[in-house]
Amino acid sequence: MESTAVDTVAEAAQQLRESIERVIVGKGPVIELLLVAVLADGHVLIEDVPGIGKTLMARSLARSVGYTFRRIQCTPDLLPADITGTYIFNQKAGDFEFRPGPLFAQLVLADEINRATPRTQSALLEAMEERQVTVEGETRALPRPFLLLATQNPIELEGTFPLPEAQLDRFLMRVRIGYPTAEQDEAILDRFALRNPIEELAPVVSAERVLALQQTCRQVKVAPDIRRYIVQLVHATRQHAQVELGASPRAMQGLFRTSQVLASLRGRSYVIPDDVKYLMPYVLEHRVILRSQSHLHGRTSADLLREVLASAPVPVEDPL
């Protein structure tokens, strides 16, 4: 991969970052992770408390990349047809016509996804993996690029339906935004005192260019030792005595792709071990399920991944 291609990706990412940061205060690492997901063509689960800017961040991203944007407020009475679309009888034409649901957008925010029933959650599976939906036996392609951002509150559990493992595995990454600092809160008050700055955002990168940048990132060099390192980390999660369900091949591919993108964003045409180590918690933690006995002893998936990283030999071969 030529350095000019890397520079193109890094330049576009910087433009997007600066655009989003005109609205979002002090969340550079989270914005970088969202950009990794965009360029790796994967979905993101944002797990955090209400009111910290999850929806605003999604809208800022959509405006900056020129994506069409739809928001779905998930509730227990939401039906699959409410998000995929349905057929409605057209009296003038004398026939049924398809009315697309909110999934037919390039960036879809599924707010409080764990409040939707399992039946409605399952309607998202085909869209997330195959980028298509099937309604009454007819399959329709979703617009490309297609990105699903889903949010859930990790504290409030009443009236919620936990996401099944199959659904969690389709999220490329899980991220948390976190509360702002006192200084950042003051900056938020100043920035939003007179107007919402999101209204001034305009696309800085087109959806078509995003598709081209995705292909560029796939050309980033991953040395054989780095590939083996990724495989070794994933297999370690499957073989650990405290693990009920380890990382899947889909998770392994996700760690591979995101490492390529992160290298591009940081101005390199090759992946280094630090790229893999940095992304591993975001890509694997929500996919690793511990045994119940481990939970009783206060163990978490994050604890296990730290152990795996500490025990795995880090490749030292020059990637070039």
CATH number at residue 263: 1.10.8.80
Boundary of a domain, candidates 202, 217, 232? 217
Per-residue pLDDT tens over the stretch 3-45: 677 779 999 999 999 999 999 999 999 999 999 999 999 999 9
Please provide the size of the chain in residues: 320
**103 and 243 inside one domain:** no
Q: What is the pTM of this model?
A: 0.90
Residue with tokens 């047809």: 81
Task: Judge if 166 and 247 occupy the same domain.
Answer: no
The values of phi and psi at residue 187, to 5°, are -65, -35
Amino acid at 218: R
Enclosing domain of residue 133:
1-217
Q: Are residues 137 and 170 in the same domain?
A: yes
Question: 241 and 262 share a domain?
Answer: yes
Please indicate, yes or no, if residue 84 is contained in any of the structural domains: yes
Q: What is the pLDDT along the chain (320 residues), one digit of tens a residue?
A: 556 777 799 999 999 999 999 999 999 999 999 999 999 999 999 988 888 888 899 999 999 998 999 999 999 999 999 999 988 878 777 788 889 999 999 999 999 998 999 989 888 888 999 999 988 888 999 999 999 999 988 776 666 788 888 889 999 999 999 899 999 999 999 999 988 899 989 999 999 999 999 999 999 999 999 999 999 999 999 888 788 888 899 999 999 999 999 999 999 999 999 999 999 999 999 998 888 776 666 778 888 889 888 888 888 755 45
In a domain, 171, yes or no: yes
H helices within the chain, ranges in order? 3-20, 28-40, 54-65, 80-84, 118-130, 165-168, 182-191, 207-217, 224-239, 249-265, 273-284, 292-296, 301-311
Q: Quick one: 83 and 197 in the same domain?
A: yes
User: Do 8 and 129 share a structural domain?
Assistant: yes
Q: Measure the CA–CA gap between 289 and 171, rounded to whole angstroms.
A: 15
162's CB contacts (< 8 A; 6+ apart) are 114
| Domain contains 299 | yes
Residue 176 lies in a domain: yes
Confirm whether 4 is domain-assigned. yes
Q: Pick from 217, 246, 279: which residue ends a domain?
A: 217
Q: How far is the C-alpha of 20 from the C-alpha of 31, rounded, in Å?
A: 8
Same domain, 62 and 158: yes
Shared domain check, 224 and 181: no
Residue 44 placed within a domain: yes
Residue 81 lies in a domain: yes
Q: Are both 197 and 252 inside the same structural domain?
A: no
Domain ends where: 166, 189, 217?
217
Q: What is the tally of structural domains in the chain?
A: 2
Nearest to 155 by CA among 39, 58, 50, 226: 50
Q: How far apart are CA 62 and CA 56, in angstroms?
A: 10
